[in-house]
Amino acid sequence: MTAPFLILAALAVAGTAAAMGLRNGVHCVLALTVGFAALAALYLQLGAQFVGFTQIMVYVGAVAILAVFAIMMTHHPGLIEAPFSRNWLWGAVIAAAVFATLARAISLGTASAPSAPPEPSATVNQIGDALMHRYILPLEIVGLLLTAALIGAVIIAIDPKDREESE
Amino acid sequence: MSSLQSYLLLSALLFSIGLAGALTRRNAILVLIGIELMLNAANLNFIAFWRFGPHPANRPDALTGIMFAIFSIAVAAAEAAVGLAIILAAYRHSRTTDLDRMNHLKG
């Protein structure tokens, strides 16, 4: 474990924990962007440049902004609600149990893992080449999925009154 | 503790934070964000195993970990868009995003 890993891991955990624990929804999403950015830096540190920049563009740039807009569109000023569910204790216990199970499996399962191998290379050139040859069919299917999902999202989110007027 | 182990432990912690948020928050949008966090933890696992796994040179599947993470990010983005659209449609119907009060299928 190195100092950059520890700093980035602390940032990621603090950002995501704040995102799940703060009361104000907009503050939650702002804390979430810190966590996502720290995760992107972790990807960069692991040598996956393309995935790191994709993480910044998709999560920090798109998903977090979309969530901020959704929270602001559904916000009632002056209405203060309890941020957590009535049976929040059960959720916390289940999450802690899942973490304990995973941590035990990790400490038992990878105890004999060898030290870090030389860093594998994944340049954008290689990734583009693989996407256009070996992974061309999954790429097409993901493109179709994204198109269908975005058209479906617009149709679901559009106001029924607006839809009638435009017809 | 090896490097792979520390990355896997961080990923397990992020997954548990996302799970706790998805199970305990009342705002539907924040529940969706918790699910996104769990997907991100899985992506971190893909990249960590790609980095620390065995790497025979010039194998055609040497980039599988990266590819899986990229496709997973694309699917997560589609999921976020559709999920937020469903939440907005449900909000228009019931005027709330509180999951404890969204407990009926018929308006």
pLDDT at residue A144 greater than cutoff 60: yes
pLDDT, mean over chain A: 87
Report ipTM for this prediction. Answer: 0.89
Where are chain B's structural domains? 3-94
Q: Indicate the pLDDT class of residue A84, thresholds 50, 70 and 90.
A: confident
pLDDT score recorded for residue A56: 94
pLDDT score recorded for residue A104: 92
Would you tell me which residues 9-48 of chain A have a C-beta closer than 8 angstroms to some C-beta of chain B? 9, 12-13, 16-17, 19-21, 25, 28-29, 32, 35-36, 39, 42-43, 46-48
pLDDT at residue A80 greater than cutoff 90: no
Shortest Cα distance, chain A CAs vs residue B104, angstroms: 17
Partner-chain residue, chosen from B4, B20, B29, that has the shortest CB–CB distance to A70: B29
Check if A56 contacts B (Cβ < 8 Å): no
pLDDT at residue A160 greater than cutoff 90: no
pLDDT score recorded for residue B103: 74
3-class SS at A110? coil
Q: What is the pLDDT along chain B (107 residues), one digit of tens a residue?
A: 568 889 999 999 999 999 999 999 888 899 999 999 999 999 999 999 888 877 666 677 788 889 999 999 999 999 999 999 999 988 888 877 787 777 776 65
Measured distance CA(B37)–CA(B11) in Å, rounded: 10
More confident call, A108 vs A163: A108
pLDDT score recorded for residue A85: 80
Task: Kindly give, in sequence order, each residue whose CB lies less than 8 Å from that of residue B5, ignoring residues fewer than 6 positions away.
Answer: A106, A107, A110, A111, A113
Interface size A-B, in CB pairs within 8 Å, comes to 238
Q: Indicate the pLDDT class of residue A13, thresholds 50, 70 and 90.
A: very high
| Domain B3-94 listed as CATH 3.30.470.10 | no
3-class SS at A84? strand
pLDDT digits (tens, 9 = 90+) for A97-123: 999 999 999 888 765 556 667 777 778
Check if A138 contacts B (Cβ < 8 Å): yes
Is residue B87 packed enough to be buried (19+ CB in 10 Å), middle (13-18) or exposed (0-12)? Answer: buried
Q: Find chain A residues with C-beta within 8 A of B100's C-beta.
A: 85-86
Would you tell me which residues 58-87 of chain B have a C-beta closer than 8 angstroms to some C-beta of chain A? 60, 62-63, 66-67, 69-71, 73-82, 84-87
pLDDT score recorded for residue A31: 94
